[in-house]
Amino acid sequence: MVFDTHTHLDFSGEIDNARRLMASLRRADIDKAFVFAGNHCCTARLLAEVRPYKDSLLPIGSVSPLAARKPSLNQIRVWLESDKIYGLKFYPGYEYFYPSDDVVKPYLALLQKYNKLAIFHSGDTHRSDKSAKLKYSHPLHIDEAAVSFPKLKIVIAHLGFPWIVDTAQVMSKNENVYADCSGLFYDKPSARDYELLKKVFSQFLDFGGPIERVFFGTDWSVADQRSYVRFISSLKLGDKAKKKILYRNIAELVL
């Protein structure tokens, strides 16, 4: 079993985006995936797009806390209370706020109340967006949110790459913090990418990163899903650890 905890719908002019994602899942032998709102796809549209594939595509909503137009807290409460969404994705770095800012706290309080995930973009930003500000997406800022909301399940996306050691420290200190390993390469990785990323995982583990709180993720459509499964399978972690990353860790948490 494989669960991709980090995918998006690509609205770059293509149609049938959810169907394209489903085709990619089948090629990669992936059973389920979280699909994130954001990136020009609001939560309402996401829910409509994934509805025909509700057994495989599990929606994660999104909110931009600083935006003038955004879902009301009451609307988000309805989505959470009715299990329409499995959590919320936030985009600090792209939207210039810290995870512990007061403007974010009402959403975190709701997620904690309904036992849903708070997922933060962390680490570097997409190379095409020159307006992003890295200081907001550093994984160390997750620590304050984790302390303020100790029962909230917080996910550091992308392992906070390249600040892997900082991510490991935040996770080892806060038992309510998790991480996904998505977006570490674009498209299909080269042999050099594989070697670099193996070192990244070793560094994460060497500095106390808990393997039982790491989730498999790809960042599709940015990264090729089949290549990502092969990459995780190539790591020298042992079969038990790989199964935890690929499925068991997230399944035990949300399914």
Q: What is the pLDDT along the chain (255 residues), one digit of tens a residue?
A: 999 999 998 766 555 689 999 999 999 999 999 999 987 789 999 999 999 999 999 999 999 999 988 999 999 999 999 999 999 999 999 999 999 999 999 999 999 999 999 999 999 887 777 889 999 999 999 999 999 999 999 999 999 999 999 999 999 999 999 999 999 988 888 888 888 888 899 999 999 999 999 999 999 999 999 999 999 998 889 999 999 999 999 999 998
> Which amino acid is present at 219?
D
Fold of the domain built from segment(s) 3-254 = TIM Barrel (3.20.20)
Specify the residue for token string 């996904």.
180
Has this prediction a pTM greater than 0.85?
A: yes
Angle, alpha carbons 123-158-5 (nearest 5°): 150
> Which amino acid is present at 68?
A
User: Taking Cα atoms as reference points, which of 175, 253, 161, 251 lies closest to residue 210?
Assistant: 175
User: Taking Cα atoms as reference points, which of 116, 161, 171 lies closest to residue 137?
Assistant: 161
